[in-house]
Chains A and B, each alone.
Chain A
Amino acid sequence: MRLHWVELENWRQHSKTRVDFHQDATVIYGSNETGKSTILEALGRGFFDKSNSQAEAIKSIRPLTATGNVTSTVRIEFTIGKTRYRVEKRFNLGKGTSLYKIVGGKDVLQAADNSGDEELMRLLEAELPSPRGSKPSQWGAFRWLWAPQDNRELPTAKDGDPTVALHLARSGTTGTLATPKFRAVQDLIQAAYAEYFSKTGKATNNSPVSIIRDQVDALQTKTVELNKKIRGVEEERQRLDQYEQRLPGLEKELAKSKEDLEIARAEAVDFSSIESQLSASEAAVTAANRDVEDAAKAVGELEKAAHEIEDLEEKEKKATADLAGLEASCGLIEMQLQKVNEEVDERAMRIRDCEELTRDVRILWTMAEAKKKIEELDARIKKIETIASAIEELRKKQVALWPPSEEVEELGQAQVRIEALKESLATRGFGVTVVPGENGTLDVDVDGERLEAVAVSACGAESVRVGTPGLGEVVVRAELKDARDAKIDIARLEGTIQAGLRRYSANSIDEVKELNRQQIDIAQRIEVLEAQRRGIDEREVKEVRLELKTFEKKHAECQKIERTPNAKNLNPVDVDLANLINQRENEEKHARLALDDARAHRDELGKKLRMQKEDRATRAAEQKHLSEELKSARNRERDAIRLHGSVEGQKKALRIAQVNLAKKVEEYDKIKERHKQLEKGPVNRIARLQRQVANQELIIQHERAEADQLKGAINAQSVEGAYSELARVSSRSESLQERFETEEVRAEACRLLRTTIEEQYRSALLAVIGPIQEEVRRCLSYATGLLHDEVELNEYLFPLRLGEQGFGDVSLEFDDASSGLKETLALCVRLAVAEHLSRSDTQCLVLDDPFVHVSSDRSNRMVELINAAIRECGLQVIILTHRPMEFAGFNGAMVDIQSVK
């Protein structure tokens, strides 16, 4: 079927709306409550509801603004097969159905009212609606193709068999794939299976197989225990038999061992006499050995004493010789020391001479220096006194008040300035010449001085006033500032000069200048003399005289010292005394060095002598000690000789004792050899047999005890009951084993039957819905980006589970899938059904907001799939949405619902 247009009149919010559908895709968009879904509702009611329906839902389609009952009309034009139809349905007030067939552009009424509804149902392959209105389950194939908002979910089992509506091929019969009989048999098989197995395929604990197996296991465990008990008793019996068989043999062996022991004891009768001989020989050897040891000890002591005396004598001799050598050495050193002491005394005397000469020459030098200083100070005092008298003379010529050079210079400059000012006044001062007229006189007033000359030439300081009687007064004015200042300055300077002359009682400036020159000359001469005085000696004369007296005193003291004859001979007074002092000091220094050397040599010899004496004392003590030791050793030797006799005698006794010892040892070895032979023979055999008899007795005793214990244990246990119990358990076990096999066959038969019937059902299902399932799988794989590439549908085309790369690793039940995935899968199923039906006729897929929960990437892929279906299968798609941008990629028309209302 292909839709061409739909027209609504008085239908909810649509007063009159017509929507033309594009042949490929039409996207009707608009905001909420603008009437998009109402278009789909009108299509559904126009196709599948009877016009005379009294359902409440149909009554509610009248406009909200309408008062009272009105007629709501829907007109739809469509094509089925190659025939074009138009249906007009009127609800509520003016009920009625009109089905037109359009032939050659003209409407031909096919059927009306009830027959029109029925004819329309036949064309659409849908079921007649119930009195309460049509349900999607009655829409035939349209329940997959049309998805209104209130019916987004895919049809399920309760919605009926899809095979007829979708023209699905079935072999054999028509109708539902799983008949009620099949379902009933399947339920019985499942119940029988559940008797043995759980849902996971494992045997249940309460199944007959498990119960019987547990019983068999328990019986087998009991059988094992009984067998173990019987086997234990039998083993003990066997061991008892072994003991009882072995004991007589062991007793026989014990008796034989005892007989052998008696025989061996009889053979060893003379062994005791050999043992006593061996003991006596051992004692003789010991005594001989002791004699040898005593003799050897005495010889050793005597020889040791002789060696000790010899050694001590040698040591004493050596000590005596050393002592004599040390005494000779000490004497030699004492002689050397005496010589050195004499040398030291001599050098000390020499130093005293040098010191005397040095002191003498120093006195001579001091006296000469004092004399020289006295003469010098005398001359200096005389010069100072001469200069002092000259200064006194000059001071007498000095006056109390005389002009300083600066003042003289100022006076000279004042005079020069006065002259300069006067000359300037004469050359630059104001001059005026007035010639009196015939009619009057002329008065000239210069600086207040009235001039009455007829012709006057005067110099004014400030202004000249000219006046003539009868003619008024003429005032001659000029700038006289400089002239007036010069005049004042001249007066001031002349005052200064007069004051200076009066101060110094002079008549002229030249006199003042002469006075100044004379006094300056006197002052300069005094300064020169005072400088000379200071150059001679800055001190006062009395201080110089005091120093002079000091030197005179020192000279007198030196003269008082009496010189030795040696000094008078060796220290001449007419030579350079300073050099002589140096010479004497050097001589004294050398003499001191020589004395130090001599003293060091003396100390060294003294130290050496002390060491030699100490060594000599030590050696003397040693020699004394050795003498005492020698004396003591000789006493000990005498005691040893007195005790043991002479060394030669003791050596002879030692040789005799050694020969005797050799003989005794030889005799002992012979007896010992005989003893060993006897020991190896009957004695050893007796010992061995004694041990053998004791061990055999222990073994027999142990085995008798074991046998008695086993007898007691065997008597204590009763195995008769065990045998009968074992027989009963075995019988029961065999019987249960038979039953177990039977139940096992039954269980396996149930499992096989269940598996086989499910396989057959799947096989039949796959034959019917296989192509659609494959198409759904392809669409889903593409839409989810190859994430889910497996899907399983049931016979009602409802998804059961999803898989990733088969159902092996990751399998997802449909109920557990997310809302977006469910929505995507539903759309895939609808698209697959549409493509399947498009093989016989064009199909119209109507979707109301299909991507509510689907992400944008998946919705884009779904749009691509729908576009492909439009292109390849001629599918017509109508989308109702409030998000037109999601469907902008469609090939078709975009219709704003507001623009067509």
Chain B
Amino acid sequence: MVRLVLSGELSLELRAELDTMLEFETTLHKHFRVKSESLHITVPEQLDAPFDYGDPILGQTEAHLRQLLAKTAVPKESRVILESIARLRRFAKEVDA
């Protein structure tokens, strides 16, 4: 059995890529295990920078999510809120594109 323990920091944007990779590995190797409790997901710098949605309600939505992020101390809730903001921005970019 091979056990992989991940620790340190990883930006949120790369998390999806990591997940995809690990899913492939764990499917390929039967005795491959991953522990990522110690891996800290950081907010990407892009999320800190202001984003122009071109729509007041969308802008207000992100502002509200950021207020929630500032209030919470639960790691899982932080992950959910950060994921929400990232998705909102991604959708806005998709529409602009």
Contacts and interface: CB of A to CB of B under 8 A. Distances in A.
B63 to A, nearest CB: 9
What secondary structure prevails in chain A residues at the interface with B? helix
A727 B1 contact: yes
Interface in B1-35: 1, 15, 19, 22-23, 26-27, 30-35
Contact of A184 (B1, B31, B95): B95
B65 interface: yes
B58 interface: yes
Interface stretch (A536-544, A661-669, A758-766): A758-766
Interface residues of A, number: 38
Interface in A149-197: 171-173, 177-179, 181-182, 184-185, 188-189, 192
A763 to B, nearest CB: 8
Interface in B46-97: 53-58, 60-61, 64-65, 68, 76, 79-81, 83-84, 87-88, 91-92, 94-96
Given A185-B95, A728-B31, A745-B79, A760 B61 contact: yes
What secondary structure prevails in chain B residues at the interface with A? helix
B36 interface: yes
A168 to B, nearest CB: 15
Given A185-B95, A731-B31, A757 B57 contact: yes
Interface stretch (A448-456, A707-715, A747-755): A747-755
Given A734-B33, A752-B65, A181 B80 contact: no
Interface residues on B, range: 35 or more
A734 B96 CA distance: 39
B75 to A, nearest CB: 10
B83 A745 contact: yes
Nearest to A750: B87
Contacts of B80: 745, 748-749, 752
Contacts of A192: 87, 91
A730 B31 CA distance: 9
A731 B79 CA distance: 25
A185 B84 contact: no
B71 to A, nearest CB: 13
A232 B91 CA distance: 55
A731 B27 CA distance: 10
A564 interface: no
B56 A753 contact: no
Contacts of A753: 61, 65, 84, 87-88
Interface in A441-500: none
Given A185-B58, A185-B95, A739-B19, A731 B1 contact: yes
A736 B33 CA distance: 10
Contacts of B83: 745-746, 748-749
B87 A749 contact: yes
Nearest to A753: B84
Contacts of B79: 745
A756 B31 contact: no
Contacts of B19: 738-739, 742
B57 A178 contact: yes
Nearest to A179: B55
Contacts of A752: 65, 68, 80-81, 84
Contacts of B84: 749-750, 752-753, 756
B11 to A, nearest CB: 15
Contacts of B27: 735
A738 B6 CA distance: 12
A745 B76 contact: yes
A631 interface: no
B26 A735 contact: yes
A181 B55 contact: yes
A186 B8 CA distance: 35
A756 B60 CA distance: 9
Contact of B55 (A182, A731, A750): A182
A872 to B, nearest CB: 34
Nearest to A739: B23
Contacts of A177: 57
Given A735-B34, A756-B64, A764 B26 contact: no
Interface-centre pick from A177, A178, A184 (highest chain B CB count, 10 A) = A184
A893 B58 CA distance: 52
B30 A756 contact: no
B87 to A, nearest CB: 6
Nearest to B6: A738
A516 B92 CA distance: 177
Given A750-B87, A752-B65, A756-B65, A181 B53 contact: yes
B56 A173 contact: yes
A307 interface: no
Contact of B32 (A172, A173, A731, A745): A731
A185 B1 CA distance: 45
A732 interface: yes
A173 B58 CA distance: 13
Contact of A738 (B34, B68, B95): B34
A150 to B, nearest CB: 36
B57 A756 contact: no
B68 to A, nearest CB: 8
B78 to A, nearest CB: 10
Contacts of B31: 727-728, 731
Interface in A606-645: none
Contacts of A750: 84, 87
B88 A735 contact: no
Contacts of A732: 26, 30
Contacts of A188: 91, 94-95
Given A727-B1, A728-B31, A746-B83, A182 B22 contact: no
A735 B23 contact: yes
A182 B58 CA distance: 7
Given A172-B56, A181-B92, A745-B80, A735 B87 contact: no
Interface string A695-732: 00000000000000000000000000000000110111
A713 to B, nearest CB: 30
Contacts of A727: 1, 31
B57 A760 contact: yes
Contact of B57 (A738, A745, A764): A764
A185 B88 contact: yes
Contacts of B61: 753, 756-757, 760
A760 B26 contact: no
Nearest to A736: B26
A748 B1 CA distance: 33
A173 B34 CA distance: 50
Nearest to A191: B91
Nearest to A759: B64
A752 B53 CA distance: 18
Contacts of A757: 57-58, 61, 88
Nearest to A173: B56
Interface in A192-220: 192
Contacts of B53: 181, 185
Contacts of B65: 752-753, 756
Interface-centre pick from A188, A189, A731 (highest chain B CB count, 10 A) = A731
Contacts of B56: 171-173, 764
A748 B79 CA distance: 10
Q: Which 7 A-B pairs have the closest CB atoms?
A: A735-B26, A749-B83, A188-B91, A749-B84, A184-B95, A753-B84, A748-B80
29 contacts: A181-B53, A181-B92, A181-B95, A182-B58, A185-B88, A189-B88, A192-B91, A727-B31, A731-B31, A731-B32, A732-B26, A734-B35, A735-B27, A735-B32, A738-B34, A739-B23, A742-B15, A745-B80, A745-B83, A749-B80, A749-B83, A749-B84, A749-B87, A752-B84, A753-B87, A757-B58, A760-B57, A760-B60, A760-B64
Given A731-B26, A738-B34, A752-B81, 13 more contacts: A179-B54, A181-B54, A181-B58, A181-B95, A185-B55, A188-B91, A192-B91, A731-B31, A731-B32, A752-B80, A756-B84, A760-B61, A764-B56
